[in-house]
Amino acid sequence: MSNNINRAFRAILLGSVLAAGSPSIAIGAGADADKLAALQQQLDASIAMINSLAARVRELEAHQGAAPASEPGTPAAAPPDAQRIAAVEQKVAQIETANATRYADDTGLATHGFADVGAGTYNPYTNDAKGFYVGNLDFYLTPRLGDRTRALFELNFEASADGAIEVDLERAQIGYQFSDQATVWLGRFHTPYGYVNTAMHHGAWIMDALRRPRFLQFEDQGGNLPAHTVGAWVTGAARVGDDRVLYDLYLGNGQQIVDGTIDMRNAGNTHGNAIVGGRAGYQFGSAAWGGLTIGVHAFSSHIDDDQVPVDETRVRAWGAYAALDSDRWEHMAEFYIFNNQDLSGGTGYHRSEAGFAQLGYRGPWGVGYLRYERAALDQSDPYFARQRAGNSYYRGALGVRFDIDFKSALKFELANTHDTDRVVDQDNEALAQYAIRF
Amino acid sequence: MQSVSSAIRSAGPAWRRRGLLALGGLFAGWSGAVMAGDIYVICNAAVSLRAVEARDLFLGEKSLAGSTRLQPADNAAAQAAFLEKVLKVDAAKYAVIWTKKAFRDGANPPAIKASDAEALAYVKATPGGCSYLSTPPVGAVTVVGKF
C-alpha cells in the first residue's frame, strides 16, 4: 500500500509542478536556465519529502499490524474523523440509555440521617444537667421493596439523662400501599395525634424550633403522651379540589409506665389491652389558605405501671390542632383534654389539659419563633402521678434558627419554665443547638 | 440630580409615550427571558395521568396510577424551569420537602437524570417512569402536560 501511495504522490506532484511550470515555458520560450534549476530543486525536495512520508507510513503500519490494503474496486473507507465521531456518538447513546434505565435503588440503600449537639444553662430535656450536650444521631432507612410494599426504619443514638448513650429503634414500620388514599403500616410508629408528633420526628434539623413542647417530648425525654405505638396504622389522604382530607386510624399495645417513663411495649403487654385512636385533618391547598392544616384527634389506651399493686388507668384524650406551613409563616397549635379513669384505685375520673401555640416567621436568614405552652395535669391521676415528669408547668420561649446552608442550622432559644405542682420552681434557660442532616 | 419621575413629568407627551413604550418593551423582553421555554411533563406510554396531578407526582403525594407504581425522575437540565413553572418552589425548598417527606412517610425522592435525552430514554424504558423535558418529546410517551 505504501508503494502505491508513494508512486501516486510522486506522479501527482510531478504533474502539478510541470503543469504549473508549463505556462511560463510556453509563454516565455526563452526562459532562463536559473528558473528551470529552481523548479528542478523544488521537485527534488518534494520527492524527498514524499519518500520520507512513505517510510513513516510503512513504519506505522508495521507497528500496528497493518490492516489489509483495500483492493481496487472496494468502496472507499470513511474518513478517520467521521469514524471517530460516529464511535463517540454511539458510546454516548449507550451511556445515556444505561443511565436512563438504571433505577436509583439498584446501587444499594442510601443512608440518611440527622445529628445535633449543643450547649445550655440546662440540658434541653432535663434540668438536672448543664453545659454541653450530645443530642441525637439519627439514621433512617427507606428501602424500595416493590410496587406496593414500603418500609421505614429509624435508628437513634441519644444521650440519656445520666449521659449514657442509648440506642432506640424509634420507628420500625413495614407497610402495604393499597392506593394513594390508603396505606397500612405494621410495627412501631409515631402515634398520630396532633401535628408535631408525626411532622417533627427525632431529627432536630427537621424542626425549626430547638425542641418540642415539653409535654409532647418523646417518652424518654419527659413527654407525657404515648408518642410511640406498636401496632397497626391505616393512613391516607384524598384530594378534594385543591385541598386534601387526611385521616389516620390505629390500634396497638396499651403502654406501660416503667421507671416513671411511658414504655410502648415493643414485645406486647401482659394484660392484652390496647390503645385505639384516630385523627382527621383538612389541608388547604388554595392560594389564599395554602399550607394550612386543621384537624381533630382522639385516643383511648389502657395503661398500667410497674408499681405493686399495679395502677391501671383508662387514658382518654382528645383535642384539636392547626398548623400553617407557608413560605413566610410557620404557626402551629395543639391542645389536649384528658378524662382519665382510674381502673384500679377507684378514684374515678380525672381531667387534665395541655396545649401550646407557636408563631414562627421565615426570613431569608432562617426562622424566628415565639412559643407558649402549658400543662395542667391532675396529680391525683395515677397516669400523671407515676410519670417522672408528670407535673404541671407553663413555659414561654423565644427562639431563632439560622440556616447556615441547606443541610445545617444553628438554633438559639431563651425559655422561662414554671413548675406549678410537686415542687414549685422556675428555670431560665439559654440554649444553643447545632443541627445537621445528611 | 433629576429623578426618573421628574424627568418623565418634565418631558413632553410624545416623549412620555415613547418612554412608556420603551419601558413596556423592556419589561416584555425581561419577562420573556425569565419564562423562556416550555416544560413537557411526560410519562411512560402505559401511564395515564392528568396535568393537575403532575405536582402531586413530583411531591410524592401521588405514587400510583391504577396498578402501576409511578417512578418520577428529575431532569437536571430542565429542573430549574420545572420547579418554577410546575411546582412553584425553588431548589432549596424542593430538597427540604423531600427530606421531610422521606423522613415522615418513608417515601423516596425522584431519581435524577442528566439531560432531556436521558430523561426521555428513562421514561420510555421504565414502566411507571415519568419525567420532564425542555424540548417536545419524540417517540411513544404520554405527554401529561405542557407548562
A376: its cell numbers: 395542667
Q: Which residue of B has its CA nearest to A181?
A: B62
Percent of chain A with pLDDT over 90: 64
Contact B113 A100 (CB under 8 A): yes
* Residue B63 to residue A237, Cβ atoms within 8 A: no
- Kindly determine whether residue B103 and residue A99, on different chains, have CB atoms separated by under 8 Å: no
Euclidean distance between CA atoms B76 and A164, whole angstroms: 45
**Which of B131, B80, B124, B138 minimizes the C-alpha distance to B110?**
B131
Output DSSP code: residue A205: G
Q: What integer is the mean pLDDT of A331-351?
A: 96
**What is the pLDDT confidence band of residue A93, given thresholds at 50, 70 and 90?**
low
Residues of B6-33 as b/e, b for ≥16 C-beta within 10 angstroms?
Answer: eeeeeeeeeeeeeeeeeeeeeeeeeeee
The C-alpha atoms of residue A285 and residue A242 are separated, in whole angstroms, by 5
**Shortest Cα distance, chain B CAs vs residue A316, angstroms:** 26
ipTM value for the complex: 0.72
Q: How many CB atoms lie within 10 A of CB A16?
A: 12
Contact A155, A167 (CB under 8 A): yes
∠ Cα A304 A305 A309 (to 5°) = 95
Model-wide pTM > 0.95: no
Q: What is d(CA B27, CA A41) in angstroms, rounded to the nearest whole number?
A: 71
Instruction: Give tens-digit pLDDT for A236-287.
Output: 999 998 899 999 999 999 999 999 999 999 999 888 899 999 999 999 987 7
Cα separation, A112 vs A426, whole angstroms? 38
Cβ atoms of A253 and A242 within 8 Å: the answer is no
Task: List pLDDT tens digits, range A299-316.
Answer: 999 999 999 999 999 999
SS3 A207: coil
Phi, psi of A128 (to 5 degrees): -85, -10
Residue A153 in contact with residue A141, Cβ under 8 Å? yes
What is the rounded distance in angstroms from the CA atom of residue A369 to the CA atom of residue A400? 6
Q: How far is A98 from chain B (nearest CA, A)?
A: 9
pLDDT band at residue A105 using 50, 70 and 90 as cut-offs = very low
Residues of chain B contacting residue A97, judged by C-beta atoms under 8 Å apart: 121, 125
A245 close to A218: Cβ distance less than 8 angstroms: no
Domain boundaries, chain B: 4-34, 40-146
Phi/psi for B14 (5° steps) reads -65, -45
> Which residue in chain A has the smallest CA separation from B130?
A100
Q: Is the pLDDT of residue B8 over 70?
A: no
Q: Over 80: is that where the pLDDT of A53 sits? A: no
Compare A314 and A38 and report the one with higher pLDDT: A314
Reported as a pLDDT band with limits 50, 70 and 90, residue A11 is very low
Q: Is 1.10.10.10 the CATH classification of the domain at B40-146?
A: no
Please indicate whether, in this complex, the C-beta atoms of B96 and A179 are within 8 angstroms of each other.
no
Cell 400553617 belongs to residue = A324
| Residue B75: per-residue pLDDT | 96
CB-based contact, A201 to chain B, within 8 Å: yes
Chain B residues whose CB is inside 8 A of the A150 CB are: 106-107
Task: Note whether A140 contacts B103, CB cutoff 8 Å.
Answer: yes
H-run or E-run covering A100: helix A80-101
By three-state DSSP, how is residue A22 classified? helix
Give chain A's largest Cα–Cα span. Answer: 141
* Inter-chain Cβ pairs, chain A and chain B, closer than 8 A: 78
